Amino acid sequence: MKKTPSLTSDESQLFRDAIKGTRKIKQDTLRAELRPVKQKREMRESREMLGVGHFFSDEYQPHLDEEGPTRYVREDVSKFELKKLKRGLYPPEIYLDLHGMNQNQAKQELAALLSLCQKENIHVASVMHGIGKHILKQRIPNWLAQHPHVQAFHQAPREWGGDSAILVLLDIEE
């Protein structure tokens, strides 16, 4: 092991003079291992505040048709409802714009929208995900297909967003 040379009294005095007037730095940052726990707690608390009762899984892959526009209809719902949605016979009552959001933010906002639709008896919603890198465009249908109150969804007609939006038909308990 190598020994470090000790400072002489002259060198020590020079060092003290050089650092004269400085103060000790206060450690005000969090340790790296505490950040994820805090973030998870904050996310949970924000979900609880919004009253969001349904959480979406990223691993779930529903069977969606790859051909043509994005569409889905629940098994117990008539395919005619999907056609009405496609034709624009159900105008959206509420809009959600997800432009500029990351996946976690978009997931929380989507869950909050569906919860709000249940509370306010809203039957049709438009979710605008944009085009971008197609990340949200691919994820949102997977998330919507998991929700128990989503009857159907279809790529929106041009007047309500076209390729960059999805119309969602919800069943609301009276």
pLDDT tens-digit readout, 23-75: 887 777 655 555 566 666 776 666 556 555 556 777 767 777 777 788 888 88
Say if residues 125 and 160 touch (Cβ distance below 8 Å): no
pLDDT of residue 47: 58
With cut-offs at 50, 70 and 90, classify the pLDDT of residue 153: very high
pLDDT value at 166 more than 90: yes
The length of the chain is 174
| Residue 127, number of CB atoms within 10 A of its CB | 28
pLDDT value at 2 more than 70: no
With cut-offs at 50, 70 and 90, classify the pLDDT of residue 151: very high
Single pTM value for the model: 0.66
Q: At what angle do helices 103-120 and 35-50 cross, to 10 degrees?
A: 20
Mean pLDDT of 67-91: 87
- Residues 85 and 22: their CA atoms lie apart, in Å, by 69
pLDDT value at 101 more than 90: no
The letter for the amino acid at 33 is E
Mean pLDDT of 123-142: 87
Say if residues 166 and 140 touch (Cβ distance below 8 Å): yes
Phi and psi at 92, nearest 5°, equal: -70, 140
Domains and CATH numbers, the chain: 33-170 (3.30.1370.110)
Say if residues 152 and 77 touch (Cβ distance below 8 Å): yes
Report which of 42, 48, 57 is spatially closest to residue 115, judged by C-alpha positions: 48
Longest dimension (CA), the chain: 92
pLDDT of residue 124: 93
Say if residues 172 and 149 touch (Cβ distance below 8 Å): yes
Q: Name the DSSP letter for residue 131.
A: S
